[in-house]
Amino acid sequence: MIDLVQDLIKPGPAVKLAAQIEGLVREGRIAPEALLPPVRDLARALGVSPGTAAAAYKALRLQGVVAAEGRRGTRVLPRPAAREYRDTPAPAGTTDLMVANPDPRLLPDLRRIFAGIRATSDSYGGAHVEPDLLDRMRAALQADGIDPSHLVVTSGAIATIYRALRACLAAGDKVAVEDPGFNEHHASVRAHSMVPVPVAIDDQGMLPQALSAALRGGARGVILTPRLQSPTGAALTRERAAELREVLGKHPDVVVLLDDFASLLSDVPYHDCLGKRRARWLLVRSFNKAIAPDLRVAVAAADAETSDRLAREQWLADGWVSIYLQRVAAATLASRSVESLLRRARQAYALRRSSLVQALARRGIPAQGTTGLNVWVPVPDEAAAVRGLLERGWCVRAGARYRLRSEPAIRITIAQLLPDQTERLAGDLRSVLEPGLAGRGP
């Protein structure tokens, strides 16, 4: 009897073959994006049946190692990428324009708010939501035309998008992403063994024709930042949102995930690109950029099924978001002094951003920065630009981590760029890009 059971649970030839192929991928001997041999060719070369080879490929697809692309064959997916949660600190004596931290001088002092919240704790059997927070977020969402029927309190926009991908899609699925776009979105797609499909953008967001091409090519999901897009600052206009609505309306079963992470800091309105007949969707708004990086609270609106899956997974992984933090978030929305400071922050960031874009333009350097905390500057050589600015005391970030197919650029964070620094930075960048023009002024 024992021998019989052991025979039953021994891995079959298809499982063994799948494990061997996966090992070659993991070791790098089969490169990401490589096409595997057709089933019959593989079977003939290895002396196995076509059924065994086909079963091995199916197992690899289920494990998120490969994706079937119809007549084009079976392609190896990129290996999951680790979150880029650490940066090398800016060297001493340089100005850090690399990490998009908000200006501490434009963040509210939360001591009084913390002192004023109720100190009672939720129980394990409690609702785990602060009603005042949901009421205020529901009203804001509804005012923007977003259905607030199903809300989930989460620990941040990045985590919400990451979990929504898992809740709505499967390994091997194609997901349309902005290019250039937020590196965490790209990494989240790859971490689920999904395939990021680059969609070109301009200052108004995703280009409708590029999105349409991605959807016709089989993308089953879309991640889109409606405003304050990182790294370029793109923001949907009313006209562009309508064009994207038309494109998405032809694909009602595609999952659309909107990362409206910095709605509280936005100096442009929200424009809806979802439409009314979408089966699976989500929009998330958070407090980190506007109130405090450590205030890990966000609220997501979604369809009923996505909302339920997010809530279930959060219960299993984290339980719930601290009620104390939820009360702080709600109190900031109710505070007139916080709202006054937010208005000042919006104005300050807009001035710093536009000042740098204009200073660069005067020197013949094109740049993007319609909204947000960053300016995106195309350059011929990212490494040379970053190195040249570092030699002049500026620490900026190479654009490679944000790009899939788009052209080289650097990202400059303007959140703490002071007015008297702007002209010097623009001049230094000009001297880096065109050494022969150094010292000639604008």
For 2-76, which CATH class?
Answer: mainly alpha
Q: Contact, 165 vs 189, CB < 8 A?
A: yes
| Predicted local distance difference test score (pLDDT) of residue 63 | 66
Q: Which pLDDT tens digit goes with each residue over 363-421?
A: 999 999 999 999 999 999 999 999 999 999 999 999 988 998 899 999 999 999 988 89
Q: Which pLDDT tens digit goes with each residue over 111-134?
A: 999 988 888 776 777 778 999 999
| Cis amide leading into 37 (omega within 30) | no
| Predicted local distance difference test score (pLDDT) of residue 76 | 86
Cα–Cα distance, 342 to 412 (Å, whole number)? 22
| Predicted local distance difference test score (pLDDT) of residue 149 | 96
Q: Please spell the DSSP secondary structure of 274-297, one letter per residue.
A: S-S--SSEEEEEESTTTT-TT---
Architecture of domain 109-335: 3-Layer(aba) Sandwich (3.40)
Average pLDDT over residues 422-428: 96
Q: State which amino acid sits at residue 31.
A: A
Comparing 34-48, 81-95, 225-239, 250-264, the range with the smallest average pLDDT is: 81-95
| Predicted local distance difference test score (pLDDT) of residue 79 | 63
> What separation in angstroms does the CA of 302 have from each of 148, 167, 255, 308?
8, 12, 11, 9
Give the DSSP H or E segment for 66: strand 66-68
Cα–Cα distance, 409 to 383 (Å, whole number)? 10
pLDDT class of 65 with cuts at 50, 70, 90: confident
Average pLDDT over residues 12-31: 82
The answer regarding whether domain 95-103+337-437 maps to CATH 3.90.1150.10 reads yes
Closest CA to 377 of 347, 398, 393: 398
Comparing 7-11, 161-165, 317-321, the range with the smallest average pLDDT is: 7-11
- Judge whether residue 8 has pLDDT over 80: no
- Judge whether residue 82 has pLDDT over 80: no
Domain spans in the chain, listed from the N-terminal domain onward: 2-76, 95-103+337-437, 109-335
| Predicted local distance difference test score (pLDDT) of residue 30 | 87
